[in-house]
Amino acid sequence: MHPISGAVGNLGGQATSRIVRFAQIVRVGPNTTKDEYTDVIEDMKGGCGDFGKLDAVYIASADVHDPSTQGLVLAAGDVCLEYSDLGGAEACMNGMKGRKYDGQVVHMSSVDEETWQNLAK
């Protein structure tokens, strides 16, 4: 497991939806195991679960494109946390500003609710 740790920096932004995207947390490759994905999910729940109720944690194992626009929505290795309300997402983005995961400063953004729902279909 790779604990989330503090670091200098302010790379989080203002949450605009309930879904927080962490860019390329997992190094996806042909040898990435299910256990590695499970470890990351547990790490994210442990490190971000206190900010609000998590409805889902999703890891993109490959690039994900919006079905309607074909634009890239998630890159392989991105992790998305779906909170039950905007307050949880805001608390997460504020609380995780400048933090590190596996030695790298985390980069966060919100995923549009409509886009998220389209991906879930």
Q: Report the pLDDT value the prediction gives residue 14, as an integer from 0 to 100.
A: 85
Nearest to 15 by CA among 108, 121, 120: 108
Q: Please give the Cα distance from 36 to 65 (Å, whole number).
A: 23
* Residue 87, number of CB atoms within 10 A of its CB: 14
Phi, psi dihedrals of residue 45, rounded to the nearest 5°? -60, -45
What single DSSP character describes residue 38? Answer: H
Mean pLDDT by 10 residues, the chain (121 residues): 34 80 93 94 96 96 82 91 97 94 92 84 64
CB 71 within 8 A of CB 65: yes
For residue 41 the two structure tokens come to 């999910």
- Hey, where are the domains in the chain? 4-120
**Any bridge partners for residue 108, and if so which?**
22
Q: Report the pLDDT value the prediction gives residue 7, as an integer from 0 to 100.
A: 31
Q: Report the pLDDT value the prediction gives residue 32, as an integer from 0 to 100.
A: 92
Q: Report the pLDDT value the prediction gives residue 44, as an integer from 0 to 100.
A: 95
CATH superfamily, domain 4-120, is RRM (RNA recognition motif) domain (3.30.70.330)
